[in-house]
Amino acid sequence: MVTASMAKGWESFGALSLVGIASVVACSSNNPVPANGDGGGTTGTCSPPPSVEDVNAPAGPQQCSTCSPTAQCTSAQPLDACCVWVAESKDALADGINLHRYSTTNPNAVPDLSCLASPAALGTPQTVTLTGYVWLFSSGVDSQGVQVDVYTENHPQTPDGTISATSLGTYTTTATDPIDPVDTTWNSKCPNGCSYRQYTIPNIPTETPIVIRTSDAGSGQWATLYDYNIYFKNSDVQNGQVSYDATAVAGPDLATVAGTVGLTIENGLGLLAGEVHDCSDIRQFGATVEAGSPAAHQGPIFYFTEDESDPLPSLQAGDTSHLGLFGALNLQPGTPIRVSATGQDPANPGQFLMMGTYVVQIYPGAVTAISLRGRRPWQL
C-alpha cells in the first residue's frame, strides 16, 4: 500500500515525490554507482562539475553532463546535483525513528540506498481504482469539501513538469465520507482525532507518473496543491485498488509558513514543499536540497523542526530534520524547476549521494509538493 507523501504539518503541505539517484558524483549510463569524493567532496570548495547522469532523461543530449547549471558553483553550494548546485550536509543521512508516518521503529536502522543505482523495472500499466484519505496540513480538523483530481505527467523521460490538460478523474469529499480509522490523537491540532475523509477515483493507470491535485470545492477554505512523483506499482494492487493519502492545505496556512521565515507570499508566484525519503520510503535526516538555483526562490531553501505534530521552518537548520521536510517560497510559475536532494552516505563519510532529482512546474498561488523517495523506473 502506498500512503500520503506528507502527513501533518508542512509534511502534508509538501508531498514531494522523488527520486534517489545514483549520486552527486561522476556517473554515466554504464557506471551508475556513486564514487567517493566526487561533486565537491568534503572540501567545501568548487571542483569541475562531475559528469552526473540526468536520470530523468536516460538517453542522448538530455544528460546532466551536457546541460548547463542554472547558477555558479560556490563554496556554500559546491555539489553539482544534476546541474543544481547544492550545499554539503553537515550530518550523515539517518532514518526517522518512531514517527507516526514514513518511519522505522528500529533504533539500529540505516538508510536503504539500494534503489539509487538500481531502480526497479517499469511494468505494463493496468487500470485500477485509486482510493485513500485526504489529510490536512495544519488548520482544520475535517477534510470535507476538498476536490481531488488525478493527472498524468506529459513527458517523464524528457521532463518539463507539465501535466495532462484534463484530469483522469475527480472526487469531492463530503461529511458523509468515511474517516481514516488511524489514530490521530497525537496531533496537537486535533487532540480528539482528525476527520480525514476518504476519496475514490476509478480508471487510474499503474506504472505511470501521476500528479494529484487537491483544491477547494467551493467553500473558499482550501488552497491548491500539486503532488508530484506519485507512482503505483502493479505489485501495489489489491483487489483492483491502489491506495494513496492525498494532502490538502488551508489557504491561511500558506501565509503562516511564509511569516515564520519573515516573508509574504507575492501575488502570482508559487510555493514549493517536500520531503526526502530513502528507498524504503523512510524519512531522512541530514539531506540538503536546492530548487533550480538560489535565485529561483525568495529567501533560502529552509528545513523544518523535529515536531511531527507541528513542524515549523527553521532558517538556522543546515539540512533536514528526522521529518525530512524542506520548503521554498515565491517561485516563478510557468517554467520547469529541477529539485535535487543530496545526502552524506553514513557508511562512507565524505561521499555525497544524490537522493533525488525531479522536474516540476510551479503554479500561481499554489503549492507544488515533491517527495524524493528513490530512483524511479523511468529514471534509468
Q: How does pLDDT run across 175-208, given as a tens digit for each residue?
A: 999 999 999 998 888 889 999 999 999 999 999 9
Residue 331 has pLDDT above 60, yes or no: yes
Structure confidence at residue 121 as a pLDDT band (50, 70, 90): confident
**Separation between Cα atoms, residue 222 and residue 214, nearest integer Å:** 8
pLDDT at 91 over 50: yes
Annotated domain spans of the chain? 10-16+120-251, 20-118+255-366
Q: Is 207 left (phi over 0), alpha (psi -120 to 50) or beta?
A: left
pLDDT surpasses 80 at 209: yes
Alpha-carbon Rg for the chain in angstroms: 19
The mean of the pLDDT values for the chain is 80
pLDDT of residue 67: 52
Listed in sequence order, the DSSP H helices in 231-339 are: 251-260
Phi, psi angle pair for 352, to nearest 5° = -100, 125
| Residues 279-294, mean pLDDT to the nearest whole number | 92
Round to whole Å and give the CA distance between 220 and 213: 16
pLDDT value of position 157: 60
Q: What's residue 380's pLDDT?
A: 60
Residue 188 has φ and ψ, to the nearest 5°, of -65, -20
Q: Compute the distance between CA of residue 215 and CA of residue 213 in angstroms, rounded to an integer.
A: 7
More reliable by pLDDT, 127 or 65: 127
Query: Which strand (E) or helix (H) includes residue 149?
Result: strand 146-152
Question: Grid cell 514514513 — which residue?
Answer: 102
Quick one: which of 289, 278, 375, 277 has its CA closest to 337?
289
Confidence (pLDDT) at 8: 39
Amino acid 257: pLDDT: 85
User: What confidence tens digit (pLDDT) does each residue in 8-62 have?
Assistant: 344 334 333 333 333 443 222 222 222 222 222 222 333 333 333 333 334 333 3
Residue 4 cell numbers, joined: 500520503
> Helices H, strands E: what count in the chain?
3, 21
CATH of domain 10-16+120-251: 2.60.40.2190
Buried b (16+ CB within 10 A) or exposed e, 118-139: ebeebeeeeebbbbbbbbbbbe
Backbone angles phi, psi at 103, to 5 degrees: -145, 170
- The pLDDT of residue 50 is 35
The most confident of the ranges 24-38, 231-245, 252-266 is 231-245
Please report which confidence band the pLDDT of residue 94 belongs to, taking 50, 70 and 90 as the band edges.
very high
Helix (H) or strand (E) holding 369, with range, is strand 367-372
- pLDDT of res. 2: 39
Per-residue pLDDT at 117 exceeds 80: no
Q: pLDDT class for 237, splitting at 50, 70, 90?
A: very high
Instruction: Tell me what pLDDT residue 322 has.
Output: 92
Please give the pLDDT value at position 118. 77
